[in-house]
Structure formats: structure tokens, C-alpha cells
Amino acid sequence: MGPEKTRAKHSAEKTNGKQGSFEIALPIRLGISLVLVIISALLKMPVLVRTILLILSALIAGYDVFLAAVDSIAEKQYLSTAVVVLFAAVLAFVIGFSLEAALMVLIHQCSKLLLEYARKRALSSAKSLADYQNEDVRGRLEEILANDHAGDMKIQHTLQSSAEFVLRLVIIFALIYALAFPFLTGISFRVSIHRALMILLISSPLSVAASFPVVGVTGLCYGARNGLLFNDASTMEQLTDVNVALFDKPGVFSEEAPHVIGLQSDLLDKKTFLNFLAHSVYYSDQPFAKAISDYYNQEYRLELINNFVDIPGSGVSLEIGHAPVVLATKSYYDEQGIDVPERGMSEGIPYYMTVAGRYVGRVVISSEINQEAETLVREMNQVGVSRCILLTEDGNEQSQAAAEALHFTEVVGECDMDKKLRLISDISQAGQNNTAFIYANGIEGHSAANLDIRVSRKGKYADVLVLPENYLNIPKGIQICKRTKELICENAIFVFALKAILIFLSIIGYSNLWFVVFMDTVAAAATILNAIRVTTPSLLQKSDSEE
């Protein structure tokens, strides 16, 4: 941990330790400060006495601003809000705007209470979005939100950096304005410095940054409501850039663990035939092999198995007791020029067995496709994912049939997991592709895709967990991500526009110190409460229609 992070950690610990007393003491201090301001304004008294009362009012209300400014300067954060407010207050007292200075500090401190209330209200509303989900989902969401930076997005850092850059320019402009404007217009230095201080306060990044984490957290909670658990808001931001989605068929579009539907053999009894089947697939990792292994409950004689060869998407070839055995799909036999009977076909995928070139029977493995998913590819295209690719272990014939049923235009069959991962890596590295791999199981780690989306209730390495019953909400999840990012931009545009108006009013003399701080606070509160608009259905539909 670097020195800056260490200081930040110690500062956070001190802040957390004092938070309870701060929340109790601040309203009392503000009340006393307000009374002193009222007394100084209503009662007749010497200017010096009034100034002392106002300085005392500012000190009571904002001594922690002074402490925060000292900490910021020690950490070389010279443009922090605390430093700007302290500088403006001190200089305002020096040039004779004592009442404005005291009110400015008072309103700035009141804004802490208002913004904290608005933040808590918005976060409470956001968390309530997931109330109807089960306890596991809510618990997982709480773990995600326990990270202080869960709501952070890359775009907010870009906007904050831009705000700091603008603030530097404004400081230069304010300095030039304060020193040069009296010579150009004839106004006093007292007035030009006063206006320059207003410009400086307006340019503080407080209201720009206030809503960002709240918007991100609201997006995370709304995603959880729809069955999508993002690791953090930056993951949501990444999903908005995905243009290629690779779907693993097992567990996403079909059952993750297929099962045996039936066995049929004219030459062998069921027990003997099943014994042959189980031994033939013992070394295979293909889904149909697991289905047969799960169906078999006897002991294996592994010494009988020799020369095993896995045929991805088609079957297996081996020797059992020195007899050549093939268990494969009909398309494989057709390629080899071998006829196998197709009578008595049932739903599912049949695998035919030959021993020493002679047909002995078949086993039928379930291959149900969720027909509700037939609109998923179209919806993915509508939200900006231009390519959807289906990856499956099935043979080419079954793969094409599944692709047609699910409306995929691209499909790659006969894939074991190693082949899938190589394909994902190749596509991810090609051109301007931003890829997402949507899968249910099969890897313990992260693929080469930009994002791994796992359809499961748990997953250590996935960037996004999608509850199995909610996988059709993935396109809606992309809409939520885009809306979250858009709302941050909208809030920033609103704040920047308001600041531009206030700067103009300050330059022409139609504003004062406490008013610009008040308006900045209002803007910050508005953007925080505006965060819940991520969930507005009409806005999501608007986002959909714009694609």
C-alpha cells in the first residue's frame, strides 16, 4: 500500500470513529452559529463587534472545515472543497464581506446534512429494489456494496479529472479577473476579489462528484432486482461496450446435466449393454458421457479399456477387451459410410454403438432446448450486441439445429471446453471486439473474454452472476448498465450547465457567496435523488428504441 492510500485509510478510520459524534454535534453547532448570525444582523453594534460575532459563528459552524483543509494540504490535495471553502471564507472576511462569509460557511455545513440525508434516502431506495429476491441474493448484494468503491465507474473518474482541470483554469481566470478587471472597468479591487471568490466556489467539484457513487449503487441494486449480480459498477460500465457475446449451450439454453432417456439393444440384455456403454465413456468429459456414467451404478473394470479416443461432438472410440467399440451419433457413422438403424426414434440425441463393426444398440440422451430463449439473440442485437455465437459440444448437425431453434447466425459445434476457450481468446484479440462469455459451468478461472457472465447462483471468478431463472434478463441488464452510465453523464451536464450560469451571474454582479454555495448544494442533492431514475421503465424503453 502506497503512502497516499495509507493516509487515506487512516483518514477514513478517523472519520468513521468520529462519525457518530459528528452527526449529533453538527446540528447543535449550526443552531448556535445561526443564532449568532441573526444577532449580528438584527442588533445595532459596532462593526468590530459584529465582525467578531460573525467570525465566531463561522468558527463554530466550520472548524472541521479548517481541519479537513489542513489534512488536504498535508496530502497535497490543494483543490479539495475544504481548501477552497476555507480560502474563500478567510479572504471574504479580510475584504469586508463578513456576513456573506459566515453564511457561506453555515450553508456549506448545512449541505453536509442535506447531502448525507439525500444519499441515505437514495441508497435506501436502491437497496429496497432487491427486497423481493431471496436471502442469498440479498446477502451477496450486501457483500458487493460493502466495498466502498462498489459504485465507482471509470467515467466518473474521467469527469472528476475534467472538473479538476476546469477548476485549475478557473483559478487562473479568477486571479486574472480579480487583478485586471478593476483597471478595465473602474470597479474596486474589493468587488473584483469578491466576484472572483464566487467563481472559485462555483467551480468546486462537490456537486459534480456527489451523485456518481449513488447512481452506480442504484444500477447494481436494480440489476440484482432483475437477477443479475455485478461485481461492481465498473463491471456494468464494461458491459455497455460489449459487441460480441459467446454463449455456451449447456446450462444456458439446455439442461447443464443431460440424462439418459432410454436404452435399446436387440443383441444384448439391458445390464450387459449398459455395462458396455459405461465402460466406453469412462474417460470422456463430454456431457452425454456424464449422463451415461450417472445412470450406471456398478463397478468398473478399467483394465478392459484400451486405446480410448474422444471424438468431440460425435462420440468415442476405444477397445473393450480387445474388441473395437464405437459409440457415436448417426452423422459420424454416415461420414464413415456405416449404416445404423433409425427405427423407434424418440426425443433426444441417439448415440449408436457398434462392436467389431456390428451394430448392437443405442442410447438416447436428453437434449431439451428452452424454447423461451428463442427471442434472446434478437434482444441482444437490439441492445447493441452485434454478434451472438453459440458454442456447443454437439455434432455439427445437432449444433445447426440448436442454432436455428435459437436464431443464432453463428454456431461452432464439436467444442470441448479447451476449444471454446481458444476460440474466445482468438475472437477477443481480433479487431475492436469487446467480448462476453456467457456460461453455466466448466471453467475454474477467467476466460480471455472482457467479461465472464455465469448463469449460476455462485461463481468465484465470474464478473457477473445471473440467476438461472433470470438469464433471459441479460439484455435488460445491458439496458440498465447503459442507463446508469447515461444518467451519470446527464447529471454532470446538468451541474456544469448550472455552474456556467452561476459564473455568468457572478461576473456581472448578480450573485453572492452564500447563494452560490446554496445552489451548488441544491444541484448536488438533485443529482443524488435523480439516481433512482435508472429504474424508470420509460427511460429504459427509450434506450432500447435508440439502439
Q: Distances from the Cα of 145 to the Cαs of 149, 211, 229, 268, in angstroms?
A: 8, 16, 11, 60
Q: Are 534 and 219 in contact (CB under 8 A)?
A: yes
For 136-178, what is each residue's pLDDT tens digit?
888 888 889 888 888 888 887 787 777 778 878 888 988 998 9
Residue 477 has pLDDT above 90, yes or no: yes
Radius of gyration of the chain (CA): 34
Q: Do domains 242-254+370-449 and 260-365 have the same CATH topology?
A: no
CATH number, domain 260-365, options 3.40.1110.10, 3.40.50.1980, 3.90.1150.10, 3.40.50.300? 3.40.1110.10
Q: What is the tens place of the pLDDT at every residue in 316-351?
A: 999 998 899 999 988 888 888 888 887 655 577 889
Whole-number Cα distances in Å, 246 to 202, 345, 423: 48, 32, 10
- β-pairing, 244-248 with 387-391? parallel
Beta-ladder partners of 16: none
H-state helical runs in 394-473: 396-406, 417-428
Residue 66 near residue 86, CB atoms below 8 Å: yes
Give the relative orientation of helices 81-94 and 98-128 as an angle to the nearest 10 degrees: 160
Predicted TM-score (pTM) of the model is: 0.78
- Domain ranges for the chain: 20-231+477-546, 242-254+370-449, 260-365
Residue type, 481: C
- How far lies 132's CA from each of 138, 146, 454, in Å? 9, 20, 22
Mean pLDDT over 497-520 rounds to 90
C-alpha distances (whole Å) from 232 to each of 143, 149, 246, 376, 504 are 11, 8, 22, 24, 39
Q: What is the CATH number of domain 242-254+370-449?
A: 3.40.50.1000
For residue 420, give every residue at least 6 positions away whose Cβ sits within 8 Å of its Cβ, in sequence order, or none. Answer: 246, 248, 391, 412, 442
Q: Where are the beta strands (DSSP E) in 73-139?
A: none
With a cut of 70, say whether residue 207 has pLDDT above it: no
CA 320 to chain centre: 52
CB atoms within 10 A of CB 158: 12
What distance in Å separates the CA atoms of residue 290 and residue 286, rounded to the nearest whole number? 7
pLDDT at 10 over 50: no
In the predicted model, is pLDDT for residue 54 greater than 60? yes
